[in-house]
Amino acid sequence: MNLQAVKQRYGIVGRSEKLDHALKTAARVASTDLTVLIQGESGVGKESISKIIHDYSARKHNPFIAINTGAIPAGTINSELFGHEKGAFTGATSDRKGYFETVNNGTIFLDEIGEMPLDTQAFLLRVLESGEYIKVGSSKVLKTDVRIVAATNVDLMKKIQSGKFREDLFYRLNTVPIRVPALHERREDIHILFRKFANDFADKYKTESVRLNEEARQVIENYRWPGNIRELRNLVEQLSVLSEDNLVTVPDLVKIAPQITNRNLPAKRPTDGSAMDFQEREILYKFLFDMKSDLNDLKNLVVELVRSNDLEMPSALAQRRLPNAGSTSQSFMENIQQFDDRPGEEPFAFDAYPDSPVIIKSEDQGYNDAEEVEENLSLDQKTKELILKALKKHRGRRKDAAEELGISERTLYRKIKEYDIDI
């Protein structure tokens, strides 16, 4: 099977390994009559996978029909699928063939299978097990040879636990599972899809295709895309029609889709300032204590390595404290270099034994006594440093910095004023 030919035939764009795996699985299982369950979020292209399975099967010259079971009312779905006899219910003025009869020897794609009523699930299970079904209002058993491909965007195991989906039907449908990745799982494809849709709409509306600058590209690649490919396609169409300039910037994106800059970080936004201050303190204390523990472990390790491997270290340096945890702007190795550059002091003799491995001697069971690092635990100082780092990272954009810190813009403005931060 030529994977690239499959993509071109069905208009599938992307180079994601997860997407390629789903397509390869669909093509391989197509030649069999195994039941397939396609799983994935809404808008990822599950119906395209079902068409690949049908078109590459021995049934490709027979009918194919896609049915959204969640869109059919519970009172009529049995009639739609299995048919009914005249007089079976009010309004049944004539006999009607169901999909399992009209699509015989073909393929039925049952989308949103998790929304199917329980009684219909029982009838479907019988079709899967024996190929038999009964029309509504009839007692005659009919046979059908239909391949079923099902799809869902919900967790069927949770449905089973809540009693809304039959466990035996799940295992009958799930003979071959295929998971189609969401758009946020294949970020390398987002810009490729954008360009593809932009060219399509340029041809449709007889205009030049829109393009993204670098910042706008980063924004669309970092967005969650809950509507997946369908949402991206709609955005590109709006940009193609509404953008005044062919080069799309971040403000252009925000104007059409204000939610696109949302990072969806796991941060809670309290309604009062006191709760926010408490969360800030909790985050900062955790950060400080983790840093303190790491520095102490590193210090003890270096001292032990120097001692156990007979390396030279001036006594003055051995007694000197490491920089405290507040000096986050200077790395440990930079501090070592600082000591090495002092006149009149011997540097570390790590290079004195270039061919000797650094080994802690087995007879030494413990570490030397080491002085515990005392660090600056000033909440104000650490808060100020984090705000400065966030502002520097986002080039002074306060909204983005506030999102990064997990605080509101109003709180960020207040902190900038409180700490007299010059930006």
Domain segments of the chain: what residues? Answer: 3-181, 184-261, 273-352, 379-418
Q: pLDDT tens, 362-407? A: 454 555 555 555 556 677 788 888 888 888 888 888 888 888 888 8
H or E element, residue 159: helix 156-161
**What pLDDT, on a 0 to 100 scale, did the predictor assign at position 48?**
94
Domains 184-261 and 379-418 share a fold: no
Kindly list the distances between the CA atom of residue 330 and the CA atoms of 113, 116, 153, 287, in Å, as whole numbers in the listed order: 57, 61, 49, 17
Is-contact 179 39, C-beta < 8 A? yes
pLDDT band at 313 (very low <50, low <70, confident <90, very high): low
Which CATH number is 184-261 given? 1.10.8.60
Whether 19 has a pLDDT exceeding 50, the answer reads: yes
How far is Cα 147 from Cα 60, in angstroms, rounded to an integer?
11
Kindly list the distances between the CA atom of residue 410 and the CA atoms of 52, 229, 371, 385, 390, in Å, as whole numbers in the listed order: 52, 35, 42, 18, 15
Q: Are strands 147-152 and 107-111 parallel, antiparallel or unpaired?
A: parallel
Is-contact 32 54, C-beta < 8 A? no
Q: Across the strands, what pairs with 6?
A: none
CATH topology assigned to domain 3-181:
Rossmann fold (3.40.50)
How far is Cα 299 from Cα 323, in angstroms, rounded to an integer?
11
Q: pLDDT tens, 103-115? A: 999 999 999 999 9
Class of domain 379-418: mainly alpha
For the entire predicted model, the pTM comes to 0.61
Which class for 235: exposed (0-12), middle (13-18), buried (19 or more C-beta within 10 A)?
A: buried
Three-class SS state of 167: helix
**Residue 158 identity:** K
Instruction: Name the more confident of 154 and 362.
Output: 154
- Average pLDDT over every residue of 243-256: 92
